[in-house]
Amino acid sequence: MDTPILKKKWEKNYEIADEQLKKIKKVKGVATGFNANIDAIYKITGEKLSELIKKTKMSLKELENIERCRILDEKDFVKGIFKSFRYGIAEEWICENKKVYDWIKKQIGYDYLQIGGQGGIMANVLSTVGVKKVFVHANSLPAIQAEQFAKNDNLLSFDEKGEMKPAYQINRSKDLPLMHWIIEFKRSDTIEIEGKIFKTPKANRFIATYDPLNLKLVLDENYMAKIKEEKLDFVVLSGFHALLSNNDGEALIDKVAERIKEWKKSAPKTIFHLEVASTQDVIIRRAIALKLIPLVSSIGVNERETMDLLEVLDQKALAKRCREQTTAENLLKGLSKIKEKTGVERVQLHMFGLYLTLQDKGFKISPEDNLKGMMTASVVGASKAKTGEVDSKSIKSVKHEVSDVGLIELDSLATALGQPNLVISGLGRYKLWDLIAVPTILIEKPITLVGMGDTISSISLISAR
Ligand code: GLC
């Protein structure tokens, strides 16, 4: 593999992104749901984590003893941060205790607020890149939450009387603000505990979620009724990952499945996509895999979510293999199993440095269009990582240079599949399906990572045209 030549080739391929961004403006309507919340961003360092550990008087042994991936007391919160920090992994744990929530608020506060939740994040991004109308579902919309939405008049939601308005102007003053703590750390930061040094291998985040409404999957009935009157090209759904099996989670999934079926009936031409999101509760994860994925035509996953899905689809050995060797080749096997087991027509993986889409032949979006959408997503994602913004100025500042990591991964995949052209064109096949692969632009020092997957999946789908 000659990397500089390939990089040039992909730089050329990526030229199409500008064109795609213009085409997005032709998309008439997208609905995003169901979760929108406030993300309270807190940048943690090894030093600050050390203070928290001291405050909670925890030994290393205690920190490592994780019996539940949930936050029932302060110690769970600190354990979660430590686990994410030391392995450089993304985790989201649910906090069900208001007292712990108050404790977190008092102990660390936050650096700044921004919109959160897959639905919220995707709505901000899609309205900013120019989709004509974006309808965001919000089960809570007091001013503090509404203010986190982009000041875009094409980003719409509903007030308490069911009147449609730009989301940022709404103030459903009786609603509860839903706060999620996003504890972000940098790569190579260190912490010393009992003489042992731990160094984070990757910049990442730990999320502590206190969100009674999304935990119950409360729907805004005004939205659910009125959205059926709108012409929608896409419905992008997520927000089921915070449900808990000991809190009626499965029944809530059954109920929402019925609502989605109804919605689909009223919008037969609309493409429904599900962003899977990291789901800790295994029973809920299985219900998402078996009851929700079969309802949509397309899903988005990262590496971790791929393995998690495999686990609940009785593919433990393959999940283990992916965990031990997180290569594109193994993950592709994983995607194909997910497709087989759920029947979903299109699966898209965004992994570090590479995106892969596996889809049915004859799917509504052609492989060529998918390829264009994936490259556009890479540019928009890089813009977000670089500046935190996805406006045209920021998007223009991104250099179209794909990462070595992605190219190397793609090259080994192409070799393993015996499809040398895949590394040049990004188009190939796997079993009976079309395979599309794109090496991505990586930003050396991203200023933010939260919401990256949501941005990639939604832009990739919506700009595939
Ligand atoms: C999860 C979190 C939310 C965050 C989002 C980012 O939904 O609950 O706080 O904004 O992930 O992808």
Contacts of 384 by beta carbon, 8 Å cutoff, 6+ apart: 125, 390, 394, 448, 451, 452, 455
The bridge status of strand 354-359 relative to strand 164-166 is: unpaired
Q: How far is CA 52 from CA 15, 108, 194, 318, 388, in A?
A: 47, 9, 15, 38, 28
Asked if residue 143 lies in contact with residue 171, where contact means CB atoms within 8 angstroms, the answer is yes
Asked if residue 349 lies in contact with residue 306, where contact means CB atoms within 8 angstroms, the answer is yes
- Closest Cα to atom 5, ligand 1: which residue? 117
Ligand 1 atom showing the smallest separation from residue 180 Cα: 9
- Closest Cα to atom 8, ligand 1: which residue? 117
Name the residue of 104, 118, 136, 275 whose CB sits within 8 Å of the most ligand 1 atoms, as the mutation to test its pocket: 118
pLDDT of residue 192: 97
- Closest Cα to atom 12, ligand 1: which residue? 451
Rounded distance, CA 123 to CA 133, Å? 10
The response to whether residue 205 sits with its C-beta less than 6 Å from ligand 1 reads: no
pLDDT of residue 69: 87
The response to whether residue 450 sits with its C-beta less than 6 Å from ligand 1 reads: yes
pLDDT of residue 222: 97
pLDDT of residue 266: 96
pLDDT of residue 96: 83
Asked if residue 274 lies in contact with residue 298, where contact means CB atoms within 8 angstroms, the answer is yes
As averages over each run of 10 residues, the pLDDT of the chain (465 residues) reads 91 97 97 97 97 97 93 96 96 89 94 96 98 98 97 98 98 94 96 97 93 93 97 97 92 98 97 95 97 98 97 98 98 98 98 97 98 98 96 96 96 98 98 98 89 96 98
Of 369, 358, 384, 249, the C-alpha closest to 300 is 358
pLDDT of residue 445: 87
The response to whether residue 175 sits with its C-beta less than 6 Å from ligand 1 reads: no
Ligand 1 atom showing the smallest separation from residue 35 Cα: 7
pLDDT of residue 280: 87
Q: What is the largest CA-CA distance in the chain?
A: 63
- Closest Cα to atom 3, ligand 1: which residue? 117
Collapse the DSSP code of 328 into the 3-class scheme (helix H, G, I; strand E, B; otherwise coil) and give the result.
helix
The response to whether residue 334 sits with its C-beta less than 6 Å from ligand 1 reads: no
- Closest Cα to atom 11, ligand 1: which residue? 117
How far does residue 252's CA lie from ligand 1's centre (Å)? 19
How far does residue 280's CA lie from ligand 1's centre (Å)? 13
